Amino acid sequence: MENEKVKTAFNDILEYIDSLEKKLATHEDKIAKVESTTSSIEQERTAAVEKLKQMEKEMSELSSVYEEMKGQKDVEINLQEVMKLYVILTEQVLDGSAHIKLLTLLHGKKKNMTKSDLAMASGIKPVATLRAIFDLRNNGLLNYNEENEIVTLVRRLWE
C-alpha cells in the first residue's frame, strides 16, 4: 500500500510537472511573440526617429534658404528706394541734368515717347533734349529713330 501511495504521489508529481512544463511552453511562446512585436515596434520607432531627423534637417535648410532669399529681396527693395531717392534729389532738389529727367520719364508707363513729348514733359529745351537723347543712345541706354523721332528705353533700370 505504501508503495502504491508513493507511485500515485510520484505520478501526481509527474503530471503536475508536465502541466507546469506545458504552461511554461505557453508562456515562453507568449514571451517570444511579445519580444517579436517589441522588436518590430522598436525598429519602426527607430525608422520614425531617423525620418524626423531628416525632415528637421530639410526644414532647417529650407528655413535658411528662405531667410537668405528674404534678405536678398530686402536688399533689392532698399536699392530701389535709394535709386528713387537719388532721382528725386537729382531731378527736383538739385535741378538735375536732362539725362536723368529723360530716363525718369522713359521709365514711366509709356514705352515709347517722341522727342517733342520728352521736351514738353521734362521742361527742357528741344536742343538740350536732343543732345541728351544722343548721349543716352551712344551709351546704350535708349534707342532713337531719327525718322519718326521716337525714343525707346533699351532696358529698365528699376521697376
Domain 97-159, CATH? 1.10.10.10
Q: What is the pLDDT of residues 93-112, one digit of tens each?
A: 555 577 777 877 888 777 78
Whether 152 and 111 have beta carbons less than 8 Å apart is answered as yes
- Taking CA atoms, 39 is separated from 29, 35, 73, 84, in Å, by 15, 6, 51, 67
pLDDT attached to residue 24: 92
Is residue 145 a contact partner of residue 114, using CB atoms and an 8 Å limit?
no
Determine contact, residues 129/119, Cβ cutoff 8 Å: yes
Q: Grid coordinates representing 36?
A: 517579436
* pTM of structure: 0.43
Question: Which cell is 60 given?
Answer: 532647417
Convert the pLDDT of each residue in 34-49 to its tens digit. 999 888 889 988 987 8
